[in-house]
Structures are given as structure tokens and as C-alpha cells.
Amino acid sequence: MDKIGIYQIRRKNNPVRKFGFIIPGMGRWDNLFLGLNNEFYNFIENKIHINNNFQQNNNILIIGLAESGLIPAYLFYKFLKKNYNNYNIEISLSSRENDYITENNDDIFVFYEDHVTTQYPKHFLKLINKNLYYSNIIIIDDEMTTGNTIMKLFNQIKHLSNNFFVFNYADVRENKINELYFGDKKLFLYSLMNAEQLDDIDGNCKEIFSLNKDIIKLDNYKNIVYLIGESIEEGIDNHIENEDTIIRLITHINWEIGIMIESIYDLGSDINNKNYKYYNPIIPLNNTNNYIYYYSWQYPVVDKLEKLLLNLNSKINIIKVPSNGKKNIHQII
């Protein structure tokens, strides 16, 4: 996948949803490409008209949805903090870590994606200031397939604001309604790319929309950053400005068993029993610096990844992120 666009795949092992959608350049299916995110942020600015619609000292909340929405949400948060410092901006990244975050914590909202998956249906969203009223809430995700996830989240947090903006890279809904009103509550839904999903596809990855913009791939990289699970902030802060670095999110892994998606290290790799060619590989090189960011309970995965990299004579830096991290987004019970 060398173009920014929407790609549809068939899911073999998901009884709830038989198709999936990929937007290359987001850091999960392939390496993070800042050109895609810059395109996305310009799109958001043009839709919101921040300087016209937001007032000084407004309280603004950015929400990133696991998994593919985490990196773009945090990058957008950094973008806003840098360019609009006259607003009070907070961020919360949702989690599927149901073994470590329990819903009896008063600061955590719980909503379900049981229409998407039976394996990890539960989302946890921790808000540091749960009782704070926000002038605007901006929700970031990768794609909108039905809109059900957004509505489930909205119903949990609608008392926190009257103004909700949802931004996705891709919209493949059948009914692409962009504005919803619930009394004095307004919910606006915008997507950078729009496409009609196919009723059926074979085992290959199928492009259903293209922005006709190339993804610039970095060949001569010196550093690889692995963000294990949801350890987003520290890894992004430390490496996003380095032009010779590739960043990759590795998530949805059984941490206790230590299962590693080793196929992403093989040239021409894929997943789901070697049927779908849509994973762009990470190829650790000799003398490459590898940075692994993780939470303590994810160490079995880190251990397996470390052994894999040692076999490739790579340099390894392992950074354990405190579970009560600097922004305390995820509190471990």
C-alpha cells in the first residue's frame, strides 16, 4: 500500500464483522506517516474553524479511540497545544485493557463495541476531570463503519458538553449523516475520505478509495520505536521529531501469554494464516537502535520481542512507562 486511501479486507476469525478497513500511514498496520496526519489536521481545522468557533480559555477535550485512533489523537492534541495555547486542552485515550482497569473506578466510563468484536468488546475511558464541563469535545478514530461505537460513547459522555465533533480518516457507512441533534446537544461527524464498502471481496486487500497521494517510505532509518499496547505519549514525545525514525504501534496482544505478531518482521508479511497481504513489515537492520515502550504487565511480549531483535544484532532500549504516567490517563487498579 503505497497510496493514502481506504483499503478493505476480509476478516476470517471475527463472527461479528466480516470486513475490516485499513488506512495506511497511521502506525498500526504500517509505519507512522506524518504526511497523512498533517493532511488530517488541516482537514479538521477547515471544518471546525477553531479561531471563529472556540473562545479564549475554552475547555476542550480530545478523545482518541483504541487502537488506531490513539496516535492521531495524541498528535492532534500536540498540534493544538502548540498552535492554540489560549485554550485549556485535555486528552484522554481509551483502552481495552479490561484486565487492568475496572469499571468501578469513578473516573472511568465504560462503553462496548460488541457489534465489532467478541474478543475485546469493552472500552475504558478515563477522564481526569470527570465533573468538568467542556465547551467542545473532539473524538478521533480511524474509520467509521456503522457509527455505533460513536453513539455508544456519546451516550456515556453527552452530559459533559453540548458540542461534539467526530473526525475519522475514513467513512464507509451506508448512510453518511454528518449532523445529529439531541435537544441542545450537537454531534458533527466528518471524515477525510469517504467510500462505499464492498459487499464481498476475496482474500486480497482491496483499495476502495484513494487520495492520490503517495506515502513517503523511509528506507534509511536508524531508529525503530515500538509502542507496545497504549504507551503512546512518551514514545511520541521522545521520537516524533526524529526524521530517521519509524514508529509502530503493536497492540491487541495477549500480554500474559506473550504472543508476538512475528510475521510483521518478515518481508512481504501478512496475518490471518498468510492470506492477506496488508501488513507492511518492520525490518530491523544491523546497528539499528530499537526503542520499546511498554507498561509493566506487558513484559512477556517485550521479552519475546527483545529475543527476536537480539537475533538480528540490533541495539535495544527498553523503556518501562509508569502505569500512573505523567498525564495519568490510564489508572491501573
pLDDT digits (tens, 9 = 90+) for 65-100: 988 899 999 999 998 898 888 888 999 988 876 555
What's residue 203's pLDDT? 63
pLDDT at site 261: 47
Average pLDDT over residues 144-171: 92
pLDDT band at 15 (very low <50, low <70, confident <90, very high): low
**Coil, strand or helix: which one is 245?**
strand
Q: Is the pLDDT of residue 287 over 80?
A: no
Higher pLDDT, 271 or 6: 6
Question: According to the model, what pLDDT value does residue 268 have?
Answer: 35
Q: Which CATH class is domain 32-194?
A: alpha beta
Per residue in 168-201, pLDDT (tens digit) is 999 998 888 999 999 999 999 999 999 998 887 7
CA dihedral for 45, 47, 53, 58, sign (positive or negative): negative
Q: In 229-283, at which residue ranges do the beta strands (DSSP E only) sit?
A: 245-250
Mean pLDDT of 148-155: 89
**Residue ranges, CATH 3.40.50.2020, the chain:** 32-194
How large is the average pLDDT for residues 226-234?
84
What's the grid cell of residue 289?
A: 537502535
More confident of the two residues 5 and 251: 5
**Position 253 pLDDT exceeds 60:** no
Q: What is the pLDDT of residue 86?
A: 83
Query: Where is 46: in which H helix or E strand?
Result: helix 34-48
Is the pLDDT score of 163 beyond 80? yes
Percent of the chain scoring above 90 in pLDDT: 23
Burial group, residue 161, by CB count within 10 angstroms (0-12, 13-18, 19+): buried
Q: Which of 28-42, 59-73, 117-131, 193-207 has the highest mean pLDDT?
A: 59-73
Q: What's the chain's average pLDDT?
A: 77
pLDDT band at 124 (very low <50, low <70, confident <90, very high): confident
Rounded Cα distance between 116 and 145, Å, is 10
pLDDT confidence of residue 182: 94
Query: What is the model's pTM?
Result: 0.85
Q: How confident is the model at residue 265 (pLDDT cuts 50, 70, 90)?
A: very low
Q: In what order do the strands lie in the sheet with 59-64?
A: 88-93, 59-64, 136-144, 163-171, 185-194, 179-182
- pLDDT, mean of residues 200-222: 79
Q: Which three cell numbers stand for residue 221?
A: 532509518
Residue 175, classified by CB atoms within 10 Å of its CB into exposed (0-12), middle (13-18) or buried (19+), is exposed
Q: Is 213 or 331 the better-scoring residue by pLDDT?
A: 213
Query: Residue range 111-127: average pLDDT?
Result: 66
Quote the pLDDT of residue 285: 67
